[in-house]
Amino acid sequence: MIALHNQLARTDGYTETLVDDVRLTRSTQSSTKSPAMYDPCIAIALQGHKRTYFGNDILQFDADHYLVVAVPMPFTATTEASPENPFLGLSIRVDRTTLADLMFAIDQSENEVPAMPKGMMTTRMDERLRDTVLRLLEALSSPLEARVLGPAIVREICYRALMGEQGAAMRAALTSQGQFGRIAKALRRIHADYAADIDVGMLAAEANMSVPAFHVHFKSVTHCSPIQYLKSARLHQARLLMARSDMTAQSASAQVGYESPSQFSREFKRYFGRSPSEEVHAMRRLLSLQPAETLRLL
C-alpha cells in the first residue's frame, strides 16, 4: 500500500485520484496543534499518525486506526511526519445516498442494541478493511480499473466502516434522528449557505427547539457553542477560498458573510494564529492540490 501511495502521490499536500470521492494525502513535515474542520469522510492512514483534539477527547489516527467524520466538526490536530517517514493517507468523501442505501440493507438484517451517535470517532483497522484499501490503491493505478472497479470498492469501504467496531454509533449519527439528527441538520444548514444571515434563534426554530435547549444539544454534539461553530465554519471556508481560488481576504470575507473586512482579519488571526496572507501562504505550501497520476503495473 505504501509503495502504491508513493507512486500515486509524489508531492506534499492532496492529490486527486481517478475516483472523484477519493483523495490521497502526503506530508513530510510535522505540525503543531492547528484548527481544522473536515467534511464528512472516512480518513485512513498508511504511515505516520495524527492526533485530533475534539472537546475533551483525543483521537489517535494512524496505520492501525481510521477516522470517521459523520458531520462537519471543528477540532484541532497535530501531525507527526518527516521526510524519512512521511504521513501517507487517503480520505473518502461520505456520500449520503450511498450510505443511506447501505444502512437500509444493514438495518434489515441487524438487530443490535441502539448506540449513542458520535460525530467523529476512530476505529481499529481490521484485515478485511485493510485488504479493501489495498484493492482500491491498485485500482487507482489504472484508468480502466478506477472507472470500472473504483466506485464499488469505495462502497465496500463504506460498508466495512458501517459494520466496524463503532459502526452502530456511525449509523446512529448518519440517520439524522433524535436530538443529534436535529443538530446535524442545523450543521448542514450552516454549511449550505455560509453568507446567509443566520442566527441562533433561526437555527433553534428550524430544529423545533427552544434557544436554551438548542444550545445544550448543540454543544453536546460539537463541543462548542452555535456562534463559535458558525464563526469557525466561515473562517475555514474563507481560508479555502483564498488558498484554492486566489480570492483576496476582503472578497473571501464577504463571500462567507462578514460585512467588515477588518473584523474578519481580527477574528481570523485570533482563530488561526496568523494573518490571512500568512495562513494562506502556509496552507498553499502544505496543502496543495495535485491532479491524479497513474502508474503502470508490471
Residue 134 neighbours by CB distance under 10 Å: 14
- Coil, strand, or helix at residue 237? helix
Residue for grid cell 500568512: 278
- Summarised one tens digit per residue, pLDDT across range 26-43 is 999 888 888 888 888 999
Determine the average pLDDT of the residues in 87-106: 87
Helices (H) and strands (E) in the chain, counts: 13, 11
Q: Whose CA is closest to 241, among 258, 266, 227, 224?
A: 258
Half-sphere exposure of 50 (CA within 13 A, CB side): 28
- The grid cell for 171 is 449509523
* Contact assessment for residue 284 and residue 240, using Cβ atoms and an 8 Å cutoff: no
Residues 6+ positions from 252 with CB-CB distance below 8 Å: 238, 239, 241, 242, 276
- The grid cell for 89 is 493517507
Q: Max CA-CA distance within the chain?
A: 63
Write down the pLDDT at residue 287.
Answer: 58
Write down the pLDDT at residue 113.
Answer: 59
297 pLDDT band (50/70/90 cuts)? very low
Write down the pLDDT at residue 192.
Answer: 87
- Summarised one tens digit per residue, pLDDT across range 53-84 is 988 888 988 999 999 988 888 889 999 999 99
DSSP secondary structure code for residue 43 in this structure: E
Percent of the chain clearing pLDDT 70 (strictly above): 93
Please determine, for residue 7, whether its predicted confidence score (pLDDT) is greater than 80.
Answer: yes
Please determine, for residue 211, whether its predicted confidence score (pLDDT) is greater than 60.
Answer: yes
Write down the pLDDT at residue 262.
Answer: 94
Rg (CA), the chain: 20
> What's the length of the chain?
298
Residue for grid cell 487507482: 140
Please determine, for residue 137, whether its predicted confidence score (pLDDT) is greater than 90.
Answer: yes
* Contact assessment for residue 119 and residue 166, using Cβ atoms and an 8 Å cutoff: no
Instruction: Supply the pTM of this predicted model.
Output: 0.85
